[in-house]
Amino acid sequence: MLTGEAFEHFLPGFGNYIVIFAIILFAYSTIIGWSYYGEKCFGYLFGDRNTIVYKVIFVFVVMIGAGVEARIVWDIADIFNGLMAIPNLIGLLFFSGVIVSETKKFRHVRLQEKQQEKQRAAS
């Protein structure tokens, strides 16, 4: 609302339309992005041949989400985004040794690159 008013103030007559158009593009690209991300994750977990199940569920949920109150949609989205942290944290704990090892390797390689850059600059 505030953004629309600001655009309308500085671009009278079509400022609100710019904001509406931007919101539509953002919503559409978000749906496409989440669909693709979810499909790839579902395919990894259950096999690429089973992604049709995910697609059907996704379309069904999007249709329901389009018809319910926005507050409910935001609450559900917040819950599921929060729940995604659980497997990520478990993965971080499980792979913490690998993460530390790879970080040390990266820092060592990066330090060598910086030293080579300094040598090139000095010569």
Whether 75 has a pLDDT exceeding 90, the answer reads yes
**What's the average model confidence in pLDDT over 10-32?**
92
Is 45 a residue whose pLDDT tops 80?
Answer: yes
pLDDT surpasses 80 at 6? yes
Closest CA relative to residue 77, chosen from 64, 87, 89, 90: 64
At 79, is the secondary structure helix, strand, or coil?
Answer: helix
Residue 49 has pLDDT above 90, yes or no: yes
Domain boundaries, the chain: 2-83, 88-123
Give start and end residues of each alpha helix (H) in 1-123. Answer: 2-10, 15-46, 51-67, 70-83, 85-94, 96-122
